Amino acid sequence: MIGVFDSGFGGLTVLEALLKKIPQYDYLYLGDNARAPYGGRSQETIYEYTREAVDFLFREGCTLVVLACNTASAQALRKIQTEYLPKKYPGRNVLGVIRPLVEAVANNQKIKRVGVIGTRATIESQAYEHELKKINPNLEIFSQSAPLLVPLIEEGWQSKPETKRILKKYLQPLKIKQIDSLILGCTHYPILYADICRIMTRRCQVYHPGEIIADSLKNYIDRHPKYKINESKNPQRIFFTSDSSRRFFDFAKKFVKVEIGDIRKISIQTK
């Protein structure tokens, strides 16, 4: 079973892409909606919340976990991979969403100037800048935090004119830099994908995170055959939220093409 974790609803955009690309696996989705958004929290808090989520998913039977959250990937993934997993869960793995997007952009020789938009925590971590420079040191990188977008999306305000004005204000500094490509450094942002593409115009390539991440995970599983043992003839889709299951269902039904069955409200906090 593959676990997919996000601090809120945004990871559903990743799950939607995974179900299209590799539907033969069982998936367990966990949204820590009660404590979302993570973007304005300290690195220590983000790590503890993410570690608790990883614990929960592994206890529920997942053998591989995808952090479908840029903030968690930027602030917690490395420590979990290098320190926590070897001691607590040897033989299992946790993957993030930053590396796949970085590889897609940095390996495109036509791209010289890159913009990154994300939560405050993701941008302050400079995770995208570091990873992009590792692959292509010649890239010019411009980053912009957009702290209001996740709360607006979580409140269902993505279509309101106020949100469109705020989005335009966040993107304008990157547009002025005449970037060739824009990285959406938050899995919530694909919900605003059409508006982002319209504002940035056709001269700027905007990769869809879910599609890139799904391709990357498929390649990872192909290279690690032990995960293919978990293919299912009747794949399960299980959903957990730390907040209102009704609100989770309403959001999912409106914004992603994922069949949502039973949603269980749980507490992932550990003592």
Catalytic residue among 62, 69, 197, 204: 69
Distance CA 157, CA 138 (A): 38
pTM of this structure: 0.92
Q: Please tell me whether 227 is known to bind a ligand.
A: no
- Specify whether 203 is located in the same domain as 104: yes
Q: Is residue 69 among the annotated active site residues? A: yes
CATH of the domain at 106: 3.40.50.1860
Q: Which domain holds residue 126?
A: 98-209
Residue 270 lies in a domain: no
**Is the same domain home to 91 and 221?**
yes
Asked about 204 being catalytic, the answer comes back as no
**And the tokens for 9?**
């609803």
Mark whether 115 and 82 lie in a shared domain: no
What's the pLDDT tens digit per position in 39-65?
889 999 999 999 999 999 999 999 999
Number of domains, the chain: 2
| The last residue of a domain, from among 192, 209, 226 | 209
Same domain, 109 and 201: yes
Annotated binding residue 39: yes
Q: What band does 226 get if pLDDT is binned at 50, 70 and 90?
A: confident
pLDDT (0 to 100) of residue 254:
78
For residue range 133-154, what is the model confidence (pLDDT) as tens digits? 999 999 999 999 999 999 999 8
Instruction: Quickly state the pLDDT bin for 270 (edges 50, 70, 90).
Output: low
Catalytic residue among 62, 186, 197, 204: 186
* 38 known member of a binding site: yes
Residues 217 and 85 in one domain: yes
- The response to whether 138 counts as a known ligand-binding position is no
